[in-house]
């Protein structure tokens, strides 16, 4: 198929000499679709092609045939659930049970002598179950936003229950688009139960559901925020909420005042450091003086104690009286034995008592 497509690129486009038709067709998911392209058997050396154009994709060749009648049974080409077949006076494209991905533009092309002519074009739209959503709106932020402020973004989904044929729950996604980014980025996915819904008193079938997204913003959160509602195979986007974060402006007077306050604080800090250093030096000197006085006092006390002890030792008086014992019984003996001397020592201490202050 791709080879045929590349061959088609080499063919020149012919003028619109043939009658061209372009129409649109809407079908539901699961329906069968048949597209017809007129075929004239008198065209000689002419080929017919069915191609499909899908957004952001290369053209896809679905089938081909020759314009004149075949004496043999016609060739049937099948691509997935799509078939092409030559029938009397027409070239048929049949889609079995259409899918959402079959939404595209289908062209029937005639190629003759390297000239290509578009005979018929059909825009086929395959619709899924109707979610009944009539609009998705977002509120604008009226108050200025600064870094650190809490911000709540709201997305309102309006729906009509009478037109809703889909039972799938809605899911809401929040995207952020920034000037320096090529694609929006997904920042939050909201669950089924994180919303508030209310019915309109004027029209009971009208319902409004509000989805909220809150966060404390910073400078990096600047951008445009979009809510996307995904339901029943479709995605619906809101109109977007632009978030501009403003940085507080510091005026010249405020800056001068701030510099003055900082200078005074520095001066006060310097004075405190000087006072603390002086106190530390004073305490150290006081400790040195106290230590020297204590050593001197201890030395003098020790010297006084030694002097008192010396005076005590000097005041001691030793006496050694001698007693003579005579034997009266043998007094008559002149040649008596030598007298036995007995010595008794005693000491006398001189104590000094302090006088009372009485």
Per-residue pLDDT reduced to its tens digit, 115-126: 888 889 999 998
CA atoms of 334 and 69, how far apart (whole Å): 197
The reported pLDDT for the residue numbered 182 is: 79
DSSP 161: T
- pLDDT, tens digit, 9 for 90 and up, residues 316-326: 555 555 555 55
User: Is the separation of the CB atoms in 216 and 263 below 8 Å?
Assistant: no
Q: How far is CA 300 from the centre of its chain?
A: 78
Question: Which residues lie closer than 8 Å to 199 by C-beta, 6 or more apart?
Answer: 206, 207, 208
Measured in Å, how far apart are the chain's first and last C-alpha atoms?
A: 138
The confidence band for 295, taking pLDDT boundaries of 50, 70 and 90, is: low
CA atoms of 287 and 310, how far apart (whole Å): 35
In the three-class reduction of DSSP (H, G, I as helix; E, B as strand; rest coil), residue 71 is classed as coil
Which has more confidence, 106 or 310? 106
Specify the range with the lowest mean pLDDT, choosing from 33-37, 72-76, 91-95, 302-306.
72-76
Which has more confidence, 263 or 73? 263
The reported pLDDT for the residue numbered 87 is: 87
The reported pLDDT for the residue numbered 253 is: 59
CA atoms of 85 and 74, how far apart (whole Å): 7
Which has more confidence, 275 or 257? 275
Domains and CATH numbers, the chain: 19-127 (2.60.40.10), 133-243 (2.60.40.10)
Which has more confidence, 84 or 347? 84
Question: Which residues lie closer than 8 Å to 193 by C-beta, 6 or more apart?
Answer: none
Token digits of residue 279: 């106190």
In the three-class reduction of DSSP (H, G, I as helix; E, B as strand; rest coil), residue 343 is classed as strand
**Which of 176-180, 265-269, 285-289, 290-294 is predicted most confidently?**
265-269
Which has more confidence, 203 or 35? 35
Question: Which residues lie closer than 8 Å to 136 by C-beta, 6 or more apart?
Answer: 155, 156, 157, 158, 227, 229, 236, 237, 238, 239
> Among all chains, which residue has been given the structure tokens 């150290």?
284
**Residue 188 reports pLDDT greater than 70:** yes
The reported pLDDT for the residue numbered 127 is: 84
- pLDDT, tens digit, 9 for 90 and up, residues 23-35: 999 998 889 999 9
Label residue 16 exposed, middle or buried (CB < 10 Å: 0-12, 13-18, 19+).
Answer: exposed
User: Is the separation of the CB atoms in 211 and 227 below 8 Å?
Assistant: yes
Nearest by Cα to 150 from 213, 223, 211: 213
User: Is the separation of the CB atoms in 18 and 117 below 8 Å?
Assistant: yes
């Amino acid at each position: 198929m791709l080879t045929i497509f590349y061959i088609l690129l080499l063919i020149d486009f012919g003028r619109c000499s043939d009658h061209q038709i372009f129409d649109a067709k809407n079908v539901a998911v699961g329906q069968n679709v048949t597209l017809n392209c007129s075929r004239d058997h008198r065209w000689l050396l002419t080929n017919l092609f069915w191609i499909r154009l899908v957004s952001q994709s290369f053209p896809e060749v679905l089938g081909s045939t020759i314009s004149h009648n075949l004496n043999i049974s016609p060739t049937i080409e099948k691509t997935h659930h799509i078939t092409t077949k030559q029938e009397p006076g027409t070239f048929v494209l049949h889609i079995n049970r259409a899918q959402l991905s079959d939404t595209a533009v289908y062209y029937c092309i005639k190629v003759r002598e390297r000239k290509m002519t578009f005979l018929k074009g059909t825009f086929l739209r395959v619709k899924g179950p109707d979610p009944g959503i009539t609009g998705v709106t977002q509120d604008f932020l009226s108050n200025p936003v600064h870094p650190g402020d809490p911000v709540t973004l709201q997305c309102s989904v309006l729906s009509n229950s009478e037109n809703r044929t889909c039972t799938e729950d809605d899911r809401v996604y929040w995207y952020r688009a920034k000037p320096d980014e090529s694609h929006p980025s997904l920042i939050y996915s909201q669950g089924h139960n994180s919303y508030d819904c209310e019915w309109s008193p004027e029209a009971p079938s009208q319902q409004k559901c509000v989805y909220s997204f809150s966060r404390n913003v910073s400078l990096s959160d600047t951008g445009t925020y979009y809510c996307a509602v995904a339901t029943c195979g479709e995605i619906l986007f809101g109109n977007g909420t632009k978030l501009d974060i403003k940085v507080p402006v510091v005026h010249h007077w405020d800056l001068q005042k701030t510099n003055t306050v900082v200078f005074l604080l520095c001066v006060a800090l310097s004075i405190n450091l000087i006072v603390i250093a002086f106190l530390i030096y004073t305490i150290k000197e006081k400790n040195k003086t106290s230590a020297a006085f204590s050593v001197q006092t201890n030395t003098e006390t020790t010297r006084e104690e030694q002097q008192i002890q010396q005076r005590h030792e000097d005041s001691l008086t030793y006496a050694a009286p001698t007693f003579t014992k005579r034997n009266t019984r043998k007094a008559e003996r002149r040649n008596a034995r030598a007298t036995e001397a007995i010595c008794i020592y005693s000491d006398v201490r001189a104590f000094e008592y302090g006088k009372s202050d009485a």
